[in-house]
Amino acid sequence: MLTANRARLDGEIATLAAISEAAAPAVTRIVFSACDLRARAYFKELAHSAGLALREDAVGNTFARWPGSEPGLSAVATGSHIDAIPNAGAYDGTVGVLGGIEAIRALQADGFVPRRAIELILFTSEEPTRFGIGCLGSRLMSGSLDASSGSRLRDQAGSTLDEVRSAAGFTGPLETVRMAAGAYSAFVELHIEQGPLLEREEIPIGIVTAIAAPASLRITIDGEGGHAGAVLMPQRHDAFLAAAEIALAAEAAAKATGAIDTVATAGVCEVFPGAVNSIPSRASLMLDIRDIDGMRRDSVLRSVDASIAGIAARRGVRIATELINADDPASCGPAAIEALREAALSRNLLHREMVSRAYHDSLFMARIAPVAMLFIPCRGGYSHRPDEFASSQHIAQGVEVLAEALRRLSSA
């Protein structure tokens, strides 16, 4: 029976977590940073040691391939990301990347020979931190983001994606990142749940059937600055207070749908000039609005737009709204879901179907292949925090179910 080498995998997860711009237990690993490049090098070392053939595309998506006995067949893929938002944890994404290597090593140790190649993918920039949009690598692979729009993306320092990626050693036209539908017969991603359900229900395996639809907006408010003591309230056009009203309007609009699946927050807010005794003349806000129902999510976007118009008029400020992305939700592929269910049953593991409220590269891989996701519990449902934690046992169970599913899918 195939078995994950827990001690080895735990050690590799800990080693990767230590490659971080933040002090432990926090992990910060921004795409194309020196840390990210060191982490990529570590991944490639492990993949090479597992006998996998490595290649990188023009945006740094990295492919580690275990050739199959029938090279003419499309491969089965698995994978996730290793970039991490500021002050994050050690398990988001890395469980799917290092766990993917471990699943392949367990299959190799079990003497399995895949009919279809098994390809492990490390996706570039799943997190939106640097370029403002998430899943950059899988968007470009799936055509959800075209190459020319991708080339125009800029980071906070004003550098373009092309400048940053080539400085990191990834060159060539972005158009070459695009993969055709059918490039893979299936894509399965192992990931921590980033929610409380599995832990609460004491179920070790979640089988994702649908992935929520994320939307994000960048909103810039221009008001009128001035002395915080001298300008009387009726004469004020305070840019930050307008931003605050917008954030509250987004929260109210999400709650107003009456559906528990509608969520909204303002994760980024910048205020200018940023002096305690100066009325903010400018503020910028980034909103993240999601739902597993795309139509309902769009109704929240419309409601926020209407609120913005009222706030601008009432407060005498100018408000510019940029829709960064408004993606469709994804349904997972029945055969891939079935492979995960059979794999969990073969390990006698309790499992349940569920939706993913976080987005993942699977959301975009679903545009070019049937996908499914495999969740494992994380403590308290915490994620994107230094105290994010998944137990060695749950990670090993997830790896062994992933390996069993890859066995099935690569033999089909």
Contact positions vs ligand HGY (CB under 6 A): 126-127, 134, 358-359
Cα–Cα separations (whole angstroms), residue 296 to 79, 215, 291, 307? 30, 12, 7, 17
Which residue, 93 or 137, has its beta carbon nearer to Mn ion?
93
* Alpha carbon distance, N-terminus to C-terminus of the chain: 20
Smallest gap from residue 358 Cβ to ligand HGY (A): 3
Query: Under the criterion CB under 5 A, does residue 398 sit at the interface with Mn ion?
Result: no
Distance between CA atoms of residues 157 and 159, nearest Å: 6
138 or 284: whose CB is closer to ligand HGY? 138
Residue nearest to ligand HGY (CB): 358
Q: Least distance from C-beta 373 to ligand HGY, angstroms? A: 12
- Stretch of 61-69, 90-98, 152-160, 316-324 contacting Mn ion, by CB under 5 A: 90-98
Per rule CB under 5 A, count of chain residues that contact Mn ion:
2
Tokens representing 186 are: 């299936």
Q: DSSP letter at 160?
A: B
Neighbour tally for 114: CB within 10 Å: 22
Cβ 359 to ligand HGY shortest distance, Å? 4
Task: Report yes or no: 31 and 125 within 8 Å, Cβ to Cβ.
Answer: yes
Q: How far is the CB of 3 from Mn ion (least distance, A)?
A: 26
382 binds, among ligand HGY, Mn ion, none (CB under 5 to 8 A by kind): none
CA distances from 256 to 218, 262, 298, 409 (A): 22, 9, 13, 42
**Do 221 and 285 meet the contact criterion of CB atoms below 8 Å apart?**
yes
Pick from Mn ion, ligand HGY, none: which does 361 bind, CB < 5 to 8 A by kind?
none
Is 92 or 400 the residue whose CB approaches Mn ion more closely?
92
What is the nearest approach in angstroms of ligand HGY to the Cβ of residue 184? 21
Binding-site member from 93, 99, 214, 223 for Mn ion (CB under 5 A): 93
Residues 190-249 that bind Mn ion (CB under 5 A): none
Q: How far is the CB of 128 from ligand HGY (least distance, A)?
A: 7
Query: Residue 359's binding partner, choosing from Mn ion, ligand HGY, none, with beta-carbon cut-off 5 to 8 A by kind?
Result: ligand HGY
Q: Considering the complex, what minimum distance in angstroms separates the CB of residue 15 from Mn ion?
A: 19
Angstrom CA distances, 94 to 278, 380, 390, stand at 43, 19, 11
**CB neighbours of residue 106 within 10 Å:** 24
DSSP per residue, 338-384: HHHHHHHHHTT--EEEEEESS--HHHHHTTTS-EEEEEE--GGG--S
Q: Does 92 bind Mn ion (CB under 5 A)?
A: yes
100 counts as binding Mn ion under rule CB under 5 A:
no
Residues that bind Mn ion (CB under 5 A): 92-93
